[in-house]
Amino acid sequence: MRLESFVRGSWMSPGQELAEIRSAVTSDVVAEVASGGLDMGEVLAYARQVGGPNLRRLTFHQRAELLKALAIYLSERKEQLYKISYQTGTTRSDNFIDVDGGIGTLFVYASKGRRELPNTTFLIDGAVEPLSKGGSFVGQHVMAPMHGVAVHINAFNFPCWGMLEKLAPAILAGVPVVTKPATITSYVAHALVRMIAESRILPEGALQCIIGSTGDLFDHLTCQDVVSFTGSADTAQKLQRHPVIARESVRFIAERDSLNAAILAPDAVPGTPEFDLFIKEVAKEMTVKAGQKCTAIRRAIAPNTHVPAVIEALRERLSRVTVGNPELENVRMGPVVGLGQRRDVLAQVAKLRSEADIVVGDPENFAVEGADRERGAFIPPLLLHCPDPIRATNVHSVEAFGPVCTVMGYDGLDQGIALANRGDGSLVASIYTYDPAVASDLVFGVGAFHGRLVLIDRDCAKEQTGHGSPMPHMVHGGPGRAGGGEELGGMRGVHHYMQRTALQGSPAMLSRVTQSWIKGAPMVQEGRHPFRYHFEDLAIGQTFISKERTITLEDIEHFAAFTGDTFYAHMSEEATKDHPFFPGRVAHGYLLLSFAAGLFVDPDLGPVLANYGLDSLRFIKPVQPGETIKVRLTAKSKSPRNEQYGEVRWDVEITTDKDETVATYDLLTMNAVRP
């Protein structure tokens, strides 16, 4: 199989220099890659001129629907990806992580895009900032898609997940993608891209894929582009030093080598659920994907008193791991990705052995099921023990990217924290304790050095997703050695591909530009009650100002009796004497909201289908018996949902008859579209 690049809407393989890709299991040639021959300037220009405009004309909800449709399409074809992936050395359960995990990320971003983003092409970021005394000059931050390309350079270990977890937030943001898979597993990524291209779900130019060398790609980058890299620290540093990256201030997101840690707390003694969970997780992270995970546990840190029990428990668990042909059902761990990778892992193990001893596993003598040990890139699980981790250096700086982990002991929690932080920045650390005080000390002791912390105990044991599984909802990345970047993290990942711009101007102008009414902008008060307008007919700024209502002592006492809310501030004049907030008995805040609704609601059957919540509620001034309130209701913004209804956000302000603000909030309604 000769692999082609998918660029400018077609498959191309102009290069003449062929490189062979061999099976991790048998060392047979499974694919050929031709490098060179692509005009990288034209590849990026096609993304900017075709893919970018095609995506930016869509709303966030429309892009989310594309991601959902793509996830469904790939789900129906994932068995094909499983079959191809076996040659990379992955078992079926490994493929669940790579293939299903990648597809699952598409589903999550599709869902979050619909639920958390407006049905617009840009975002309003934060509240309006008053910039003048009289209110005629204000500020508002907005975010819009960058007019460039998302260049994604992926590692070999997750050819599907690595591509899709980067693709989802970029497409949702409205930025086209040029993806570059690692060559050694590029035949899996190639199959995935071919599926996506054949689906015709994404707009033209939204996705291109470069197989082989990137050539002079970086020479054509601009300040509007984003580079997201996953791989070794050496390669990341080389790319970050590219003169165009510095000159153009190209956004560079790196996820690099990481000496992740699992920390066993002193209270997690042998026999406790937390000790057993620690053993299970360390063994799993050593063997899943043959330890070839950027999040795998490389350092198992335990109290010195627990170290012998940790080693014996891991020895017993790892002895049950069957190494061999990943297509066999009884095989738990396949080979590393290739013979070159095996040589590299063993070379790194040799460095670790200068400070640590192998206590489980023998790289020269182990059984392989259903395959030739010499032809395949097989390594057994190797557990090392470092007796003096305080003085050691290699165990905190050398990563053997395979089924390798080093156990090290500590005396006292401060020493354990110091050891965890010796990795100089990692993607993840997991903590095993049932003591909240210990957990707190560990979290804030190591948190600055780790991008993610997983607190695993008996309460979450059945549902926790594991040390090594980045979730699309949570940030994936870490400081220092881990690269200093962030991916995923829900909408945080989308924001990486958008430019935040500060707008300053009059409320009237900014309201029109942002399509969101700002206090001080003109209000539309003529015509019908705002609730009488269908979604598309309702004007931003349409306002209703209610009649007045005087709050009585009887209102307050009736509300207290009816709801059961007899808080002293509402019931006792004596109790509020010398109170820092209340000048005497005051009305319930929720009484004011209820009365406000009664003042502004239009009761007849009509376009308003439902009130489904309120945001940003603030009670500003207490109201005493005898005071009078009124309400201003203004259509703030609109977001289409489907063919039947759209979301309307209303700016609500409760004031006294003296125009003192009592409370403010955003009311959310679903309004029917015109039949």
Q: Choose among 244, 237, 334, 341: nearest CA to 290.
A: 334
Report the pLDDT value the prediction gives residue 85, as an integer from 0 to 100.
92
Is 160 among the residues known to form the active site?
no
DSSP H or E segment with residue 171: helix 161-173
Measure the CA–CA gap between 418 and 277, rounded to whole angstroms. 23
Q: Which H or E run includes 645? A: strand 645-656
* Largest interatomic CA distance in the chain: 91
Which helix (H) or strand (E) segment is 80 a member of?
Answer: helix 78-85
Residue 457 amino acid letter? D
> Which entry of 255, 285, 399, 487 is annotated as an active-site residue?
255
Residues of the chain whose pLDDT is less than 70? 14-16
β-bridge partners, 450: 426
Q: Tell me which H or E stretch contains 409.
A: strand 404-410
pLDDT of residue 16: 67
Condensed to tens digits (0 to 9), the pLDDT of residues 566-578 reads 999 999 988 888 8
H helices within 232-338, ranges in order? 233-240, 243-248, 273-287, 307-318
Phi, psi of 475 (to 5 degrees): -65, 135
Burial class (CB in 10 A: 0-12, 13-18, 19+), 388: exposed
Query: Is 76 annotated in the active site?
Result: no
Whole-angstrom Cα distance, residue 6 to residue 572?
A: 75
pLDDT value for 595: 95
3 state SS of 313: helix
Beta bridge partners of 260: 297
Residue 212's pLDDT is what?
Answer: 87
The answer to whether the Cα torsion of 369, 374, 378, 379 is positive or negative is: positive
Are 384 and 404 in contact by the 8 Å Cβ rule? The answer is: yes
SS3 35: strand
C-alpha–C-alpha distance, residues 172 and 443, integer Å: 33
For 66, list phi and psi in degrees, rounded to 5. Answer: -65, -45
CB 191 within 8 A of CB 211: no
Secondary structure letter of residue 50 according to DSSP: I
- Amino acid, single-letter form, for residue 558: H
pLDDT of residue 15: 66
User: Catalytic one among 294, 386, 487, 627?
Assistant: 294
